[in-house]
């Protein structure tokens, strides 16, 4: 498959000059959305079943799960300072394991399970934040080490095989659908997008998070409590990732140790495809969701094409590189 990315670039001086700045900022997200639609269309050509409402609904459900894991990742990447959270997958796994172990199929255990999951996620985030901000361990190293610790904790806690399953109500939401194309998970995903958007754009925390990511020295000297803002991003990331584990078992109806680990690197990819700069200071959660859809549609498409595992990995990698290369082609800004 070949895409002509150039068609999507806003060329300076093309009569859209006034909108260029605004367009460029929305550009990557629009581009990702366009690619997602394109992948759906290609899928439709390959298999008529691909565009059935049920299949679209399933793809969106899976995308939302990735989007949940990537929620905290978005915050951490925006916060800058080479911020990245490689413990999101492990936190998701822990959330999943705790969820089944505590609920054991009982509806009245849902609330205690949620509280404990969020607390566990917060603890992971707090430890990450202390390591990164107080002990000044680079985020990449700190969160990777934390991922190992959290994985080991799960093994000890479950002896390797978690027992239990989600409460009936949770499983119903996890796999049920409001409409064929609209699973309950997607409804919750949309709700999460609204909440994240509110946090990022309409609270002073979100505002300061972008500021810190853009220039932490300047923010510090303007009175922003940089450590708390940045540390907060890691704590929120731990909590959101652990919650993602809850929805992961709601969807799958079972848990295994490390079930979230496969989401770690895709979460970073979703954030970047969605237009959040790895340098920090810019981006949005809606972009991340679209990035998650792109990755999930691509994955499904490769399955439909009967590509074997090796082929899938290679194509996945090539597409990612192509996307990122296309993203860097934007008009330069005055230095």
Partner 1 sequence: MLQMLDIGKRFGAVTALKNASLSLMPGEIRALLGANGSGKSTLVKILGGMVKLDSGNILLDGKPLLIQSPRDSRQNAIAVAYQDLSLVPQLSVADNIMLGREPRGRAGLVESARVRQGALELLNRLQVEVDPDALVSELDTATQSLVEVAKALAWEPRMLVLDEVTASLHHDQVQRLFALLRGMRQSGLAILFVSHRFDEVFSLCDTATVLRGGETMSAVSISQVDYSDLIHAMTGKWPEKIRAAQLESKLPKKRDIVLSLSNLHVQNKVKRVSLKVHSGEIVGLGGLQGQGQAETLRAIFGAVSFSEGDMVFGGAPVKFRSPGDAVRQGIGFISGDREREGVLPVRSVTENLFLAKMALKGFFSTINSHWLFTGAKETIRQLKIVAEGPDSPANSLSGGNQQKLVVGRWLMVKPRLLLLDDPTKGVDINARREIHQLLRQMAEHGTTIIISSSDNEELLDIADRILVFYEGKVVAELCNDQKTEAQLVSAMLGVNRTSGGGDD
How far are the Cα atoms of 46, 179, 243, 288, 327 from residue 272, in angstroms, in the given order? 28, 31, 22, 7, 10
Beta carbon nearer to partner 1, 223 or 310:
223
Beta carbon nearer to partner 1, 19 or 152:
19
| 286 sits near partner 1 (criterion: CB under 8 A) | no
> Minimum CB separation from partner 1 for residue 225, in Å?
5
Site for partner 1 in 165-194 (CB under 8 A): none
- Rounded CA separation 298/1 (Å): 11
> Minimum CB separation from partner 1 for residue 292, in Å?
23
User: Which residue, among 68, 90, 70, 121, has the nearest Cα to 257 in the 3D structure?
Assistant: 90
Exactly one of 13, 15, 308, 310 binds partner 1 (CB under 8 A); that residue is 13
| 335 sits near partner 1 (criterion: CB under 8 A) | yes
| 328 sits near partner 1 (criterion: CB under 8 A) | no
| 282 sits near partner 1 (criterion: CB under 8 A) | yes
Beta carbon nearer to partner 1, 55 or 237:
237
Q: Contact, 176 vs 119, CB < 8 A?
A: no
- Rounded CA separation 329/116 (Å): 45
Exactly one of 8, 9, 20, 47 binds partner 1 (CB under 8 A); that residue is 20
Q: Which residues, other chains included, contact 215 with Cβ-Cβ below 8 Å and sequence gap of 6+?
A: 281
Site for partner 1 in 191-250 (CB under 8 A): 201-205, 207-208, 210-211, 214-215, 217-225, 228-229, 232
Count of residues of this chain found to bind partner 1 when the rule CB under 8 A is applied: 40
What is the radius of gyration, based on Cα positions, of the chain? 20
| Other Cβ atoms closer than 10 A to 172 | 12
Paired tokens of 282: 């810019």
| Other Cβ atoms closer than 10 A to 282 | 17
182-183 and 177-179: which strand pairing? antiparallel
> Minimum CB separation from partner 1 for residue 197, in Å?
12
| 12 sits near partner 1 (criterion: CB under 8 A) | yes
Contact positions toward partner 1, by CB under 8 A?
A: 12-13, 17-18, 20-22, 24-25, 201-205, 207-208, 210-211, 214-215, 217-225, 228-229, 232, 277, 281-282, 331-335
């Amino acid at each position: 498959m070949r895409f002509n990315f150039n068609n999507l670039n806003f060329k300076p001086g093309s009569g859209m000059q006034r909108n260029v700045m605004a367009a460029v900022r929305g550009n990557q997200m629009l581009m990702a959305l366009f690619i997602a639609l394109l992948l759906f269309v290609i899928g439709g050509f390959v298999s008529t079943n691909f565009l059935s409402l049920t299949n679209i609904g399933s793809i969106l459900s899976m995308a939302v799960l990735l989007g949940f894991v990537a929620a905290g990742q978005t915050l951490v990447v925006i916060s800058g300072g080479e911020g990245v959270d490689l413990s999101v997958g492990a936190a998701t796994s822990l959330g999943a394991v705790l969820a089944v172990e505590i609920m054991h199929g009982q509806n009245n255990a849902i609330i205690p399970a949620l509280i404990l999951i969020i607390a566990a996620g917060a603890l992971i985030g707090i430890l990450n934040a202390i390591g990164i901000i107080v002990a000044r361990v680079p985020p990449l190293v700190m969160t990777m080490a934390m991922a190992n610790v959290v994985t080991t904790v799960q093994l000890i806690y479950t002896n390797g095989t978690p027992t239990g399953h989600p409460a009936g109500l949770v499983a119903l939401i996890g796999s049920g659908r409001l409409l064929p194309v609209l699973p309950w998970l997607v409804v919750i995903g949309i709700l999460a997008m609204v909440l994240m958007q509110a946090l990022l754009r309409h609270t002073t925390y979100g505002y300061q998070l972008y500021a810190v990511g853009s220039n932490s020295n300047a923010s510090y000297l303007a009175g922003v409590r940089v450590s708390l803002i940045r540390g907060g991003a890691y704590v929120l990331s731990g909590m959101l990732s652990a919650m993602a584990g809850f929805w992961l078992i709601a969807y799958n109806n079972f848990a295994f140790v490390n079930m979230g680990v496969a989401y770690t690197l895709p979460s970073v990819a979703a954030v970047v495809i969605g237009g959040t700069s790895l340098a920090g200071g810019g981006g949005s959660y809606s972009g991340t969701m679209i990035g998650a859809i792109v990755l999930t549609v691509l994955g499904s498409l490769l399955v439909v094409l009967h590509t074997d595992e090796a082929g899938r990995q290679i194509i996945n990698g090539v597409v990612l590189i192509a996307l990122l290369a296309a993203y860097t082609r934007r008009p330069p800004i005055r230095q």
